[in-house]
Chains A and B, each alone.
Chain A
Amino acid sequence: MKPPPFDYHAPTSVREAVEVLAEVGAHGKVLAGGQSLIPLLNMRLAAPGHLVDINRVAGLGEIETDATGVRVGALARHAAVERSAAASLAQPLLGQALKQVAHSVIRNRGTVVGSLVHADPAAELPAVLALLGGSVRLASVSGEREVAAADFFTGPMESAIRTGELAVSAFFPAWDGGTAFVEVARRHGDYAMAGVAAAVRLDDDLRVTAARVACVSVGPAPVVVDITEACGNQSVASVDWGAVVAAVQERIEPEADIHATADYRRHLTGVLVERAVKAAADV
């Protein structure tokens, strides 16, 4: 469990970082929190020729908040975002999801943007970004581009990020309604067997006017389903949950692994959709 040899780069600016990435091309890998990359290296499941450590790059640790949402820099640790009162106020779903990301020691090192770039369909943050319709900002020697979540997650562990690009921040839009994140994991802090993030808006009569969910671990990428119609403009107490669950279950593609059958994940997602929407409506 020792990594194969690699060249180590420690740029101090975004400019320098993207220049190195341009130079090393497909052989380069960016190191931020290292919570996924370092185990992959040690188990020799990844063998990049060049490691570009961005931890010394200035200006990437920012968490910027305004009425429109939260912009999280590439070096902002999970723990910093979780503890940011301003971020929680602007977008409570971030804190609700981050509580369930692994354990505190991992959250102290791991980064929000790193989790998005890793694009694990079982992870919480890609689902949050996808649910909220957020975006990721990518820098390269030829400039910056902003990629919408819907286009960013292209498959399991696959994103729209191109060779030579560095994800410098992600934007989580605000939502003028309630949110919740519920999941069931084997052990505390494990990747969820199924999990659902929900964003719900109610009118003054407490009828559901907008609702959507993002499901984890049941497809190649977070599965976002708009269930506004399925909720039938009813109050939460009167919603036909069978119809809502069916609307979601028809969109997901769970697979079996050693921890859960596909059947169970499908069932569990249904249970969690109802729980998440009810919790989100309670806010």
Chain B
Amino acid sequence: MTTKLFGEPVRRREDARLISGQGRYLDDLGPGALAAAFVRSPHAHARITHIDVDAALEVDGLVAIYTWEDLPAGVCEPLPLLIPHPALTHGRTAYPLARDVVRHVGEPIVMVVAKDRYVAEDVCSLIEVGYEFLKPVVGIEEAVSGAHLVHEDVPGNVGAHLVQEVPSADGRSAAEAIEAAPHTLSFRLDIERSACTPLEGKGVYARWDADDQSLRVYSSTQTSTSVRMALAAKLGLPLPKVEVIAPDVGGGFGVKIVHPWPEEVLVPWAARLLNQEVKWTEDRREHFISSAHERAQVQHVRVGFDDEGRVLGLSVEILHDHGAYTPYGIIVPIITSTQLLGPYRIGAYRVEFSSIYTNTVQVTPYRGAGRPQGVFCMERTMDKIAQHLGRDRADVRAANFIQPDQFPYDQGMIFQDGRPLIYDSGDYPESLRKLKDLIGWDDFPAQREAARAEGRRLGIGLGCYVEGTGVGPYEGGHIQITSDGRVHVSTGLTSQGQGHETVFAQIAATELGVPIERVSVVTGDTRRFGYAVGTFASRAAVMSGNAIALACRKVREKALRVAADALEADPRDLEITDGVVHVVGSPSASIPLATVAVLSNPLRYAFDEEAKRATQFAGAASMDRPPVAEGEEPGLEGKDYYSPIRSTFASGMHAAIVETDPDTAEIRILRYAVVHDCGKMINPMLVEGQIHGGVAQGVGGALYEKMVYDEHGQLLNASFMDFLMPYATEIPHIETDHLETPSPLNPLGIKGAGEAGVIPVSAVIAAAIEDAEGLPIDRMPISPSDLYAIRRTAGN
């Protein structure tokens, strides 16, 4: 019987629990806890003149009301700027409760703790906050004019400005290369705001143990270890006295990697102060107006190219709307700037971005994290080149591809991990060939003409991307095989539904030769694993997957050593199958891993029958060395870390066929095809699931979702009634094909897959609509009303 499960479409082990109501999400915990609620700013930009709580004090069930002035040192400081960068010269973060000025609708001002959430919200409604209005800065154009400032001490509203330039092989700058090129084009592109919108919002539940002087915090987070360190620092607690656990988390998509959120600091602080359990569960409106958004950029592009469509020089200026604060640094525009290059060899490249403050919700990474914008820019550029030259759009891309024999390929830039942007492996021509086959690229023109003859408008588009995944610095894995033969796997990063319980168990079962049923996986619990970074950047499988494999190999080696002693065999002659160590070619000479676990831990006391075998008079031990030999440890246990030299680069290509209604301007996706390469697949079914979810979010971003602010900085669609997350009915069937180009950078040869699906969708849909309509589509998302307006402007 084989236990080789790596690469198999094993069904998700967590689903039975999650789809039958057995999941334990944040709000399922602590049913008796006090509830927190927040008075949040209804204004986009204002100075707080006074806070009057008198009317609220009489409410039955009120426990406490806190404003900034009540916060002690540490807690009252601005929240951390998590990722500093030399170009972020004017980084700003919010106070956990507004100190004097509020800079977006939704910023927390007063914290209320009451016996339940109903009472807490009643209290909030009775607290009066006085405001002196300041001019709200909304929209990139208004912000860059610098007429009004979001932060008084940030001139021009520019938080960061970064130029990166990669000259051509013959030493030309992008400007020179464009100038000298046979063809040039200039244009502007726009991407609007969207957001992660996980179905479960944020949430924090804290218990202070006064006897033990310790704090336990549950948070719906993507990084429990880092929340723990932040809390210990903010609250002045010894690290060993703080435990942070991510329970089942109902989606993150990036927003929950930001930390500590104001509530993540305030709720544990209040729990300790009040010596009572306190919980805060974010509601949907709060999530819309006080978490984080992403995507909004304006891009000015200049490109020079030759007759084949080869890009000789590319210059992109990006205005990145960063909202009111920059807690996550400038990761998003850095990723846009670098990943814009995609699978292409560009002659010379110059990219410049300005990160602009506006009086809107802060911008932090959302699945794709700046890549959808970069890919939109590059793929629209490729389409415009093809159109200009009258060449096939796929051929223009192929003319620019990095070739399979050119890896590792150095793009000459610095990536988001601070390391060189060097692609490790890939086969872009083969991906394109597969994609063209899958969608029927070459046959489509005939199809389009036939439809046209019936009065129907069909169009096709494609888009390519490269995604740096598995960024460092590290993750770890811990394996313990207990004397019942069970394998306990833990890793510090967290899960938000990806299927880690399944894929990490597949890796452990394969490495150790045990049935997967005996493997259990724990993630995101600092009691089990204290050192970790977090779940983001499509890194969990690459980072923790490899760390777990390495830890398993250590444990396996030890198991074979202990078993070799017991079997009086050479460890090199042993293998583990179905949880039993046996001599190769001699199945009767065997010992179960459970027994090996017993023998690995020399005992003085026998607490059960099994344990007797490891006690001092059982006669199993050699008299020539100590019971625990030098360099050994008791127990069948091992830990290891994986820390990559740099990121590994996954890639993919999507194509879509859309139909636009000539009368109503409705846009329908008829077919959607994906070719995806994430190196060796641990579980192809889960990879497909990730792609499906990503494409669905991408379709949302292309056709439905946008944050609509008015000129006063009010978010007009802060609910799922008006923020149009697509339903299953809006998502086409997704056809997939895979390519496996192993990464040479890690032992398992894998690359990340989490974000991939979302990345090129806006570019692909825009291209397909453009093809159907014969009109340029330079702004996404696009609605039927938008398309109608474009047609009218074009006189169509």
Contact = CB atoms under 8 A, between A and B. Distances in A.
5 contacts: A44-B121, A188-B727, A260-B783, A264-B789, A268-B784
A283 interface: no
Contacts of B792: 263
Nearest to B117: A2
Interface of A: 1-5, 39, 43-44, 184, 186-190, 193, 258-261, 263-264, 267-268, 271-272
A54 B780 CA distance: 46
B789 A187 contact: no
B401 interface: no
Contacts of A44: 121, 125
Contact of B788 (A5, A188, A190, A264): A264
A188 B731 CA distance: 11
B730 A187 contact: yes
B417 interface: no
Contacts of B11: none
B724 A190 contact: yes
Contacts of A3: 118
A184 B730 CA distance: 13
B722 A184 contact: no
Given A1-B283, A268-B664, A263 B730 contact: no
A268 B726 CA distance: 22
Nearest to A268: B664
Given A44-B125, A260-B784, A271-B664, A188 B730 contact: yes
Given A193-B784, A263-B789, A264-B785, 8 more contacts: A39-B721, A44-B121, A184-B664, A184-B784, A190-B724, A193-B785, A258-B716, A267-B788
A189 B118 contact: no
B789 A261 contact: yes
Contacts of A271: 663-664
Contact of B729 (A39, A184, A187, A261): A187
Contacts of A193: 784-785
Interface string B600-625: 00000000000000000000000000
Contacts of A272: 664
B183 interface: no
B280 interface: no
Contacts of A189: 727, 729
Contacts of A259: 722, 724, 783, 785
A264 B730 CA distance: 21
B6 interface: no
Contact of A261 (B118, B284, B785): B785
| Candidate in B717, B784, B789 with the most chain A CB atoms within 10 angstroms | B784
A112 B507 CA distance: 55
Interface string B97-131: 00000000000000000000110011001000000
**Top 7 A-B residue pairs of the complex, sorted by shortest distance between their CB atoms:** A188-B729, A1-B283, A260-B785, A264-B785, A2-B118, A271-B663, A258-B708
Interface string B710-723: 00000011010110
A39 B729 CA distance: 24
Contacts of B117: 2
A33 to B, nearest CB: 16
A261 B789 CA distance: 9
B205 interface: no
Contacts, number: 68
B122 A4 contact: yes
B284 A1 contact: yes
A242 B410 CA distance: 62
Contacts of A5: 118, 122
A188 B664 CA distance: 15
Nearest to A44: B125
Contacts of B344: none
A151 B283 CA distance: 40
Contacts of A187: 704, 724, 726-727, 729-730
Contacts of B717: 258
Given A260-B783, A260-B784, A184 B122 contact: no
Contacts of B456: none
B633 interface: no
Interface in B466-523: none
Contacts of B729: 187-189
A184 B664 CA distance: 8
A268 B663 CA distance: 8
A184 B285 contact: no
Interface string B653-671: 0000000000111100000
B666 A184 contact: yes
A4 B125 CA distance: 9
Contacts of A264: 665, 784-785, 788-789
Contact of A258 (B722, B727, B730): B722
A264 B664 CA distance: 9
Nearest to B726: A187
Contacts of B784: 184, 186, 193, 260, 264, 268
Contacts of B704: 186-187
A37 B80 CA distance: 41
A107 to B, nearest CB: 15
B266 to A, nearest CB: 19
A263 B708 contact: no
Contacts of B722: 258-259
Nearest to A256: B785
| Candidate in B664, B716, B789 with the most chain A CB atoms within 10 angstroms | B664
Contacts of B727: 187-189
A188 B284 CA distance: 21
B481 to A, nearest CB: 47
A84 B435 CA distance: 48
Contacts of A184: 664, 666, 784
A272 B117 CA distance: 46
A155 B499 CA distance: 51
Contacts of B721: 39
B268 to A, nearest CB: 23
A37 to B, nearest CB: 14
Contacts of B663: 271
Contact of A43 (B118, B285, B664, B788): B285
A189 B719 CA distance: 16
A122 to B, nearest CB: 11
A182 to B, nearest CB: 10
Contacts of B724: 186-187, 190, 259
A220 B283 CA distance: 32
Interface in B660-709: 663-666, 704, 708
B730 A2 contact: no
A70 B342 CA distance: 62
A259 B789 CA distance: 13
